[in-house]
Amino acid sequence: MLDTILKPIQKVLSTRLEKTKLKKELLKHPNYTAKAKEIWDMIDEDFGITNTIENVLKLKVDKFDKTLKEKFPELTQKDISELKESIIGELSAGKDAVMGQVYGIKKLQDINSILKEENEKLKEQLSKLKEALPLSNNSNEKQ
């Protein structure tokens, strides 16, 4: 599963790295992307839902920058920013898909609730009709 995540990251990074002339340096160290992703996941686990979203995101990004710089001191801030953008972009795309599914499920639950209410109303109306017409039911049963 990690390979399926890393391959798109590698494609994005390779095109960006060609533009920034870091391709040679990063090709010497192909584990930058993998390690950057591991560091992001580790930081993501550390934070959870404790602060406001803005504070958590800022803290996570700062910790990511610091940890990546400690792990790979030869990376510039621009290199770290590009790795961060690549990872965040990929994660955002995945979260957008999940949010779309959550929205779809919520919409289906709302429709289901409406249909249940309508079903109950129809059952009540049918029951009232049966009570109002007991003679026709009895005459049909005898025939």
User: Does 62 lie in the same domain as 27?
Assistant: yes
Tens digits of per-residue pLDDT, 13-37? 666 656 565 556 655 666 777 778 7
Which amino acid would we find at residue 47?
F
Q: Please give the residue range of the domain that contains residue 89.
A: 2-98
User: Does 29 lie in the same domain as 48?
Assistant: yes
User: Does 68 lie in the same domain as 26?
Assistant: yes
Contacts of residue 93, Cβ cutoff 8 Å, sequence gap at least 6:
none
Tens digits of per-residue pLDDT, 77-110? 888 888 888 887 777 766 767 677 777 788 888 8
User: Does 27 lie in the same domain as 47?
Assistant: yes
User: Does 35 lie in the same domain as 53?
Assistant: yes
User: Does 20 lie in the same domain as 47?
Assistant: yes
- Total domains in the chain come to 2
Separation between Cα atoms, residue 103 and residue 116, nearest integer Å? 20
